[in-house]
């Protein structure tokens, strides 16, 4: 009898080297992580870059993973996948081949130099909140439903041109 699994949410982003393929491949790779099961994946979304504007548009998605990995063991796996995609990251908030962010891990609040959960910028980012709402609409962040955070973003007209592209069917 093993320890119970936890539910983790992962944000995916790419704006280099065929971003749609990068994100699709990464979803398949998440499905193959040890001690883990991919239970949901959002549609793919396109958005203008947050941060420096002199870089390509992004493709983003959010995935839900049931996992027996600890938060740091999961982070190790995510960073190994980023490396496999030969992640390029020349400058802070610059273009990247693949970004995998651990957004949420169960109800954990983690604040260490290596890992912060919930992901510190997620409440202000439509490219995270909209796909997350698609697969986990009842999620609360800091005691407030996603809809409240999304209203903030829309009120500031800062959804960065987010557009849903296509849905991905995950087969069992």
Active site residues: 86, 96, 99, 101
Among 22, 27, 49, 130, indicate the residue that binds ligand ROI (CB under 6 A). Answer: 49
Asked if 127 interacts with ligand ROI (CB under 6 A), we say: yes
Segment near ligand ROI (CB under 6 A); pick from 22-30, 36-44, 45-53, 107-115: 45-53
Angle between helices 146-155 and 126-135 (to 10 degrees): 150
Among 18, 28, 51, 114, indicate the residue that binds ligand ROI (CB under 6 A). Answer: 51
CB of 165 to ligand ROI, least distance (A): 13
Token pair in block for residue 122: 């997620």
Residues whose CB is less than 8 angstroms from the CB of residue 87 and which lie 6 or more positions away in sequence, other chains included: 96, 97, 98, 99
Per-residue b or e along 37-48, where b marks 16 or more CB atoms closer than 10 Å to that residue's CB: ebbebbbbbbbb
* Rounded-to-integer distance, Cα 34 and Cα 81, Å: 12
Other Cβ atoms within 10 Å of 123 Cβ, number: 18
CB of 73 to ligand ROI, least distance (A): 23
How far is the CA of 8 from the CAs of 42, 58, 62, 69, in angstroms? 14, 22, 10, 10
CB of 47 to ligand ROI, least distance (A): 4
E-assigned strand segments in 68-122: 99-105, 110-111, 116-117
Asked if 42 interacts with ligand ROI (CB under 6 A), we say: no
Of 13, 142, 154, 138, the C-alpha closest to 81 is 13
Asked if 93 interacts with ligand ROI (CB under 6 A), we say: yes
Nearest CB to ligand ROI, comparing residues 50 and 135: 50
Among 60, 67, 77, 123, indicate the residue that binds ligand ROI (CB under 6 A). Answer: 60
Asked if 29 interacts with ligand ROI (CB under 6 A), we say: no
Asked if 13 interacts with ligand ROI (CB under 6 A), we say: yes
The residues that touch ligand ROI, with contacts defined as CB under 6 A, are: 13, 47, 49-51, 58, 60, 93, 99, 127, 160
């Amino acid at each position: 009898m093993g320890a119970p699994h936890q539910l983790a949410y992962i944000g995916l982003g790419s704006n280099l080297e065929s971003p749609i393929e990068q994100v699709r491949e990464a979803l398949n790779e998440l499905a193959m992580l040890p001690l883990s099961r991919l239970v949901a994946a959002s549609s793919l979304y396109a958005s203008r870059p947050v941060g420096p504007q002199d870089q390509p548009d992004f493709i983003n998605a959010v995935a839900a993973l049931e996992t027996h990995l600890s938060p740091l063991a999961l982070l190790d796996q995510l960073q190994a996948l980023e490396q496999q995609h030969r992640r390029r990251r020349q400058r802070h908030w610059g273009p990247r081949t693949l970004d995998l962010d651990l957004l949420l891990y169960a109800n954990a609040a983690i604040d260490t130099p290596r890992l912060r959960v919930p992901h510190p910028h997620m409440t202000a980012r439509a490219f995270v909140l909209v796909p997350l709402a698609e697969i986990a609409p009842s999620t609360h962040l800091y005691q407030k439903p996603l809809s409240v955070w999304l209203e903030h973003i829309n009120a500031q007209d800062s959804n960065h041109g987010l557009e849903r592209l296509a849905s991905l069917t995950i087969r069992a």
